[in-house]
Amino acid sequence: MEPWMWIAIAIVIIVVIAVVVWLLLRPSRRLKKQFGSEYDRVVRQTGDKNAAQDELQQRLERQDSYALRELNADEQDRYVADWRTLQRHFAKQPATGLLEADELITQLLGDIGYPTNSFEQQAADLSTAHADVVDDYREARAVVRDTRAGSAGTEEIRQALLRYRTVFEHVAQTQVARSDDEAVS
């Protein structure tokens, strides 16, 4: 082959790679992939795709400014023990169990380096590193509100507590044993 043909092929390859990289790195695509359903929620809330992308981009930058850390094994064990205790409290008094779960998650978020000023802030922060569980967090939180108002039923509170547990396990990077895990005999 002539040298100019090699150069032409090289240019074509470079252009194709550049286009693919550009397509993959477009902010909308990148943010959509990272934030999942939260992306759509913020777009709905702001009513404007660009504003939503700015908001999400800001969240990412804010996240970088936090000094986040992971729990060590002892801390994980203590948190799990606390979680199991509040599951027992749920069986006695559902509202108490759920409110304790709410507090424990806030405590956990603070413990690993998130600011814990307001629920909206916590949900926004959670959406950057734990996008999978933000929906659970928001829905459980709505039931906490109903529970405080005295209008949540036991089954509703139970579902909320299970959602909170998903969030808890995700953030604490650990598992709470299920009753089927241990032979109850």
Partner 1 sequence: MTDPTTQTAQPLLAGDDQQHLRTRWIQIEEGFVDDPHAAVQQADDLIDDVIDRLRDALSSQRANLRSGWESLDDATTEQLRETLHRYEQMFTQLNELPAPSGWQDRERGSRATTHGRPTFPSNDTNTQSDSDMGAR
Which residue among 30, 89, 130, 170 contacts partner 1 (CB under 8 A)? 89
Which residue among 147, 163, 168, 171 contacts partner 1 (CB under 8 A)? 147
Instruction: For CA atoms 66, 69, 75, 79, give the dihedral sign.
Output: positive
Question: Please, are residues 134 and 127 in contact by the beta-carbon 8 Å criterion?
Answer: yes
What is the SS3 assignment for 185? Answer: coil
DSSP assignment of 37-49 equals: HHHHHHHHHHS-H
What residues between 113 and 132 interact with partner 1 by CB under 8 A? none
CB of 153 to partner 1, least distance (A): 4
CB of 13 to partner 1, least distance (A): 55
Instruction: For CA atoms 106, 110, 115, 117, give the dihedral sign.
Output: positive
**Residue type at 146 in one-letter notation:** D
> Distance between CA atoms of 102 and 168, rounded to whole angstroms?
10
Give the contacts of 144 (CB within 8 A, at least 6 positions apart): 98, 99, 102, 160
Both tokens assigned to 11: 């240019």
Q: Which lies closer to partner 1 via its Cβ, residue 104 or residue 167?
A: 104
What residues between 19 and 78 interact with partner 1 by CB under 8 A? 78
Q: Which lies closer to partner 1 via its Cβ, residue 35 or residue 83?
A: 83
**Is residue 145 within the footprint of partner 1 (CB under 8 A)?**
no
Question: Which of the stretches 45-53, 55-63, 124-132, 176-184 binds partner 1 when contact is defined by CB under 8 A?
Answer: 176-184
**Number of residues located near partner 1, criterion CB under 8 A:** 40
Residues that bind partner 1 (CB under 8 A): 78, 82, 84-97, 99-100, 103-104, 107, 111, 147, 150-155, 157-158, 161-162, 165, 178-180, 182, 184-185
